[in-house]
Amino acid sequence: MHSVIRWFVYNPVAANLMMWVLLIVGGLTLTSTYREEFPNLATDVVRVTVPYLGASPAEVEESVCVRVEEAIEGTPNIKKILTTAQEGACVTRVEMEIGVDKGKVVDDIKSRVDGIDSFPTDAEEPQVKEEDILTHVLHIMLAGKADERSLKELAYKIRDDIVELPGVSQAQVTYVRPYEMSIEVSEHTLRRYGLTLERVAAAIRNSSLDLPGGAVKTESGEVLLRTKAQAYSRRDFEEIIVLTREDGSVITLGDVANVVDGFKDQDLRVRFDGNPAVMIQVKRIGKEDVIDLAERVKSYLEQAEADLPEGISMTLWKDESQDLVDRLDLLRTNAGSGLLLVVLLLSLFLKPNLAFWVAVGIPVALAGSLIIFPVADIAISTMSILAFILVLGILVDDAVVVAERIYAHQLKGLGPKEAAIAGTQEVSIPVIFGVLTSMVAFMPFVVIPVAIGEWFAVLGIVVIAALFFSVIESQLILPVHLSHRILTNGRRQNRESWLPRQLQSLAENVYQPLLAITLRWRYLALASGLALLIAAFGLVASGRLSLQFIPDVVGERLYTTLTMPAGTDQATMLARVQQIEKAANQLQRELDANLAEGEPSRVKHILSSIGAPLIKGSIGDGSAVGGHFAEVALETLNPDDYGLDPNAIVERWRELTGAIPGALELTFTASAFSVGKALDLQLRGESTEDLKQSAALLKEALAELPGVLDITDTFRPGKLEIQLDLKPEARTLGLTTAALANQVREAFYGLEVQRIQRGQDDVRVMVRFPESERRSLGDVEDMMIRTETGAEVPFNSVARVSTGRGYSTIQRVDGKQVVSVQANIDRDVTTPEAIINHAIAEIMPRLGQAYPSVEYSLAGEAEERAGALAGLLRNMVIALFVIYSLLAIPLKSYFQPFVIMGVIPFGMIGSLVGHYLLGLDLIIWSLLGIVAMAGVVVNSGLVLVDYINQRRSEGMPVEKAALEAGVVRFRPIILTSLTTFVGLIPLITNHNLAIFMFVPLAVSLAFGVLIASFVNLLMVPASYLILEDILRLFSRDKAQGNDELEAEELTT
């Protein structure tokens, strides 16, 4: 290393070229790197969907889901199989192990599912694909006084225009029903013409088709033959001949049926500010820049708005690009403020030219880290900017140590170049290995097994890259810049050095005597430190400092979710949703009551949906659909700009709404992001009744706990079912159960004749009874059933009818039926962790005694927390071992690393106390900050121990070496800790909701490093002497044992 440093010092052109290359290439990379709000999340989930249209959840479970599970079971590299049987489809989500070959797993699952040959004949082809979480950029609401078809067609036209814009790959129209051609033939008409639904369907299939007929080779060339008779419109279908009489006359489909060119019979209603609405979602794919993409689309929308029909409006409901711009601006401001504070601090405690060249290392290291962005597929995002803020103060740590030693060697009389070489070489090993320990401390960020693990990975990679380039700058570039004379003469030099001299005076006159006392009473000092550590952990144990996985991140949108019993009629659902909307309107009037003239309303928009979930910032399967499901969202102005409290607003909304008659679930939330329900306990067992009873018992117990809200379970009654059973006498007529079931299905659900491609729509053509003959049980009992001979008999003469009610959905995990008990938590009263711990300790044992066959497991946020903590603990243990190794190698000792690493727990004191003083909860970001702090604080200890070892090798007594090391290293240790701390002050003091969840990470790192550095200056020298005491004791015992052995041998 000495020769490399010398070569660069005597070849300054190489060092300067290296610096400018890093700055220029990094700058060019910055201008060409795409931007996104957060890194895309990899779900590690394969979704298998098998549509079985018209089937009940119980039929879907028995006929489809069980077969899918049996086929998938045993597939290598899968972790869990979660299945939902719902009306008309089986949805299976297969969670993969982390780090496996996803493509191979998907192919393996697909081949197994495609090999199933026992699905019902009416089940459609399975769809197997890896789940993607695409980034939504814009949500555009198209609303107004218009019919459903007009709104849909206009939305598709706008969508087509948007995807033609440069840089826009995907836009999707949502909250619309699919088109459907319904051919409705009454039973009376069928009997009149001697037809059946199957014959009508066959006539359509035989007449409505396009079919290639090969080719004719003529003298002039080859001519293709083709039959082109596919029907597309209502009139086309009405002209199809279904019956030809003996006299040659024909009966067309229009003569016997009502052809309805409409929409699928699906309960879906969406209103935006009281008007019918559809949504256009603009999404980002791959490396498309969010901000550029949004600007192009918004520019188009401004032009298109002028051409909209009268009464139609186009509104941006969610603009993720604006959220990104606001968050990046906040982070850039914090980064700029942090950088300014760091440079100011350096200039106060170092000579101006020294401070300048130390500060230059910051942009050089950051530019170097930018170079790896394209290689690692990293964007300019919230997480990458956050990484820059975190590392700002850390980047100068090694440069400060190097610069301080170069300056010290010039003071001793060495020439500028030789001082640069000698100073850098003196601390090169502790500096390099110190930076390596910091890099290792951020490696646990890269692999954390949680849904948002990709966010942490980006943060870790960027910090590690910046630290790598910082050590290159401090070892190869900085010495060149400091290889000129730093010393000056006269009063100017004295004026510039006043503050550093005061710091040196503090080291010699205050710190040195204190260190001497600490070294003398080192065991008492260690005991006192341990007592402080116990007291700090007592903050958590006593509940004064609460621990929770994900904080309550609120935003501009508040959500209400309503679930009614399956089968609830649309009039009732509409009335219930209007009750919630009415409360939202009253809430708006209350918020606007004291507005000054010209001030905007605090509520911008109200969006409601029946039959489909709204787009929210949660991670889940989003499968809650059906006419019994509704959501209402209320958008406010920015809470930070107008002093709004989203949690208080949502509670007032809850009060104004009141009770909803018949509601199975009614929840209110202001959370902008979640990884699942705050409380989600999953019960598993073989007995459906035991699961139902145990879920009820658990809900009752949870309802007694303060702070537990909106308690629900997934055992929800389904639609009323009419169950058919064939009478024994029917078999004498040649009827089978299958024949009865098929005829009833054809009449009421319908017979799918074909699917036609009309533009971009896949339109199903269905033949069935008219809606007026499909409304009641009486319609079933009045229908005629055809026997094997073609004779018709009354339904009641061959079949019995009974009624029952199943479940709206049936959930299964790894082949067992499950029920989830879920709730929201008022985090102002308690935490999810506290409630779960109470449930596990108090409630679940009682439940286990009452229902021994029922098992439980954690799901939702708790499952994510358990996986994150386990992964973080495993990664931290590995990181600590690597840090130990990196300390042991330069120190050439197995024991001295423990002296340095012993300061890590004291850094945790700072982290915990920082949270307590600022009134923050411990969250996952806090724990990550503590892990990062562990690698940073050992740097100061390494520099101290290395100096003690150097002086001891020169013959200095250990006590004197320890005392001198503290005084000599006092200024660089204080300065490096202060730069880390002040670099994070702007982020710590920022209360903007957009970045508030990152504050605990900064608090853990800043306060941990600050406290640990002061502890380092006292406890590392004291611990070094304690280690020497122990080693001397063992050496004395060993020597005494050897003397006794030698005496015994002489006696013998």
pLDDT value for 556 = 84
> Does a structural domain hold residue 496?
no
> Does a structural domain hold residue 741?
no
474 and 411 part of one domain: yes
Reported as a pLDDT band with limits 50, 70 and 90, residue 494 is very low
Q: Is the pLDDT of residue 619 over 50?
A: no
- Distance of alpha carbon 585 from alpha carbon 848, whole angstroms: 46
- The beta strands (E) that lie in 229-335 are given as 241-244, 250-252, 258-263, 269-272, 275-284, 312-319
Reported as a pLDDT band with limits 50, 70 and 90, residue 496 is very low
Question: What value does the mean pLDDT take over residues 475-498?
Answer: 67
> Does a structural domain hold residue 683?
yes
Half-sphere exposure of 94 (CA within 13 A, CB side): 28
pLDDT value for 928 = 82
632 compared with 665, residue with greater pLDDT: 632
- Distance of alpha carbon 444 from alpha carbon 218, whole angstroms: 73
pLDDT value for 924 = 80
480 and 520 part of one domain: no
Tell me the range of 472-476, 564-568, 617-621 where mean pLDDT is highest: 472-476
> Does a structural domain hold residue 498?
no
Q: Is the pLDDT of residue 1041 over 70?
A: no
Q: Is the pLDDT of residue 219 over 80?
A: no
Instruction: State the Rg of the chain over Cα.
Output: 37
930 and 1001 part of one domain: yes
pTM of the full structure: 0.79
Residues 421-444: tens digit of each pLDDT: 888 898 888 888 888 988 888 888
1046 contact partners, CB below 8 Å, separation of at least 6: none
541 and 481 part of one domain: no
C-beta neighbour count of 1041 within 10 angstroms: 10
pLDDT value for 454 = 77
Question: What value does the mean pLDDT take over residues 754-760?
Answer: 86
> Does a structural domain hold residue 423?
yes
Reported as a pLDDT band with limits 50, 70 and 90, residue 491 is very low
**Structure token pair of residue 237:** 């279908």
To 5 degrees, how large is the angle CA 52–CA 54–CA 56?
85
537 and 389 part of one domain: no
Q: Is the pLDDT of residue 692 over 50?
A: yes
pLDDT value for 606 = 93
938 and 957 part of one domain: yes
924 and 982 part of one domain: yes
Angle between helices 904-918 and 924-953 (to 10 degrees): 140
C-beta neighbour count of 507 within 10 angstroms: 20
1043 and 895 part of one domain: yes
To 5 degrees, how large is the angle CA 373–CA 375–CA 379?
30
Phi, psi angle pair for 215, to nearest 5° = -150, 155
> What separation, in Å, do the N-terminal and C-terminal C-alpha atoms of the chain show?
56
pLDDT value for 725 = 86
CB distance 620 to 131 below 8 Å: no
To 5 degrees, how large is the angle CA 600–CA 605–CA 606?
145
> Does a structural domain hold residue 242?
no
pLDDT value for 340 = 83
DSSP per-residue string spanning 61-99? IIIIIHHHHHHHTT-TTEEEEEEEEETTEEEEEEEEPTT
Reported as a pLDDT band with limits 50, 70 and 90, residue 299 is very high
Q: Of 452, 486, 520, which residue is a domain's last?
A: 486
922 and 961 part of one domain: yes
pLDDT value for 618 = 40
Count of domains forming the chain? 3
As a whole number, the mean pLDDT across the chain is 85
Report percent pLDDT > 70 for the chain. Answer: 94
Domain coverage including residue 434: 1-32+350-486
975 and 839 part of one domain: no
- Distance of alpha carbon 208 from alpha carbon 170, whole angstroms: 33
- Distance of alpha carbon 820 from alpha carbon 679, whole angstroms: 10
Residues 326-367: tens digit of each pLDDT: 878 877 887 788 778 878 877 777 777 777 888 888 889 999
User: What CATH number is attached to the domain comprising 844?
Assistant: 3.30.70.1440
- Distance of alpha carbon 129 from alpha carbon 66, whole angstroms: 19
CB distance 305 to 316 below 8 Å: no
853 and 865 part of one domain: no
pLDDT value for 403 = 84
pLDDT value for 621 = 38
Question: What value does the mean pLDDT take over residues 559-563?
Answer: 90
Residues 660-682: tens digit of each pLDDT: 998 888 888 887 666 667 788 88
Q: Of 858, 873, 892, which residue is a domain's last?
A: 858
Question: What value does the mean pLDDT take over residues 747-756?
Answer: 89
Query: If you ran DSSP here, which 8-state letter would residue 377 be given?
Result: T
3-class state of residue 236 by DSSP? helix
870 and 992 part of one domain: yes
> Does a structural domain hold residue 322?
no
pLDDT value for 622 = 39
User: What CATH number is attached to the domain comprising 410?
Assistant: 1.20.1640.10
Residues 42-90: tens digit of each pLDDT: 678 899 999 998 888 888 999 999 999 999 998 898 888 999 998 889 9
Residues 811-833: tens digit of each pLDDT: 888 888 888 888 888 877 888 87
**Structure token pair of residue 145:** 């006084």
> Does a structural domain hold residue 376?
yes
Question: What value does the mean pLDDT take over residues 503-512?
Answer: 85
**Structure token pair of residue 753:** 């004749």
CB distance 270 to 176 below 8 Å: no
